[in-house]
Amino acid sequence: MLPDLAAAETYRIATYAAPLSRDGPGLLLRDILKGEDAQIAAVQSVVTRHAPDVLLLTDFDYDLDGAALAAFADMFGDQYPHRFALRPNAGMPTGLDLDRNGRTGEPRDAQGYGRFAGDGGMAILSRYPVGEVTDLSDILWRDLPGATLPKDFYSDAVLAVQRLSSTGHWIVPLDLPDGPMTLLAFSATPPVFDGPEDRNGLRNRDELRMWQVLLDGGFGPPPTDFVIAGNANLDPVDGDGFSGAMAAFLADRRLQDPLPGKDTADWPDDGAGDLRVSYVLPAAEWLVADAGVFWPASDLPEAALLGSDGLAAGPHHLVWVDVSR
């Protein structure tokens, strides 16, 4: 019997590497509460325009009490009664010299690059209740099956503490009206800003492979009714990093790629150009009704995305997919 598409509930799932990180702890909350930040207002406008049911933000500063996330969610009225965030690996001190430059306590010596604890974390806004989240962010890089670490670069002491996730990997159950959905949320390191050891490139690839291992049953029974979302920082064709790994992942028959070939970010100033780095990838069982990437037209207020410092807010654009059962 064919499904009744007219009666099926449709859900919009989105991810957005919106520039909601600041130069120090507490500054994002300050800027939200002041209500005068053009950058934050532009991000609010983008989110309001597309009204996702579930939104994963992948550049959002974390604070212990969730004050910044609550204040940001309140900007949308009662649209997002359910909010979720965990402390990211970004900015989490290790006490070790991870980049081997002879100094400790610097941003690249944290578990993931970060100028302070919570710098550029992840956050979820949802219309629907969030269940008990499984956090894979503390898995050591060396413990991922098939991991490839930079050869002869890390000491045994570093290998004993270096986590795989530069920001986080979460298994997030959502209680939708017609049944459960599992959001697999992540944000990976850019595969650049290192040396010939290619530690960021290798780590970026293994952060993507975390989901492959999960779907293969490497962490127990794999989830069903899932949607993978986040910033992989990896294009399947162009740019730096192991593009072939992204292309192979998108070809996995357990997934759907609703936006093949659609770029999600642009770096006009550094020559990288347009790249596809953010993804919303439903499981094969979902019915995809629509999908898109929001690129602001020049006549829209979101086009400039200017922050309080007068600089362009960032290269990333909101990615969304509408799914039903």
**What integer pLDDT is reported at residue 155 of this predicted model?**
95
296: Cα within 13 Å, side-chain hemisphere = 21
Asked whether the beta carbons of 250 and 262 are under 8 A apart, the reply is: no
Mean pLDDT, to the nearest integer, of 90-101?
A: 96
Report pLDDT digits (tens) over 271-288. Answer: 678 999 999 999 999 999
Report pLDDT digits (tens) over 12-66. Answer: 999 999 999 999 999 999 999 999 998 899 899 999 999 999 999 999 999 999 9
pTM of the model: 0.93
pLDDT-derived band of residue 2, with 50, 70 and 90 as boundaries?
very low
**What integer pLDDT is reported at residue 295 of this predicted model?**
86
Report pLDDT digits (tens) over 126-135. Answer: 999 999 999 9
**pLDDT, mean over the chain:** 92
Residues 6 or more apart whose CB falls under 8 angstroms from that of 320 comprise 12, 13, 14, 50, 52, 280, 291, 292, 293, 294
Report pLDDT digits (tens) over 216-250. Answer: 999 999 999 999 999 999 999 999 999 999 999 99
**What integer pLDDT is reported at residue 263 of this predicted model?**
95
Mean pLDDT, to the nearest integer, of 173-197?
A: 96
Which whole-number Å values give the CA distances from 264 to 227, 287, 313, 315, 320, in the listed order? Answer: 18, 22, 15, 8, 11
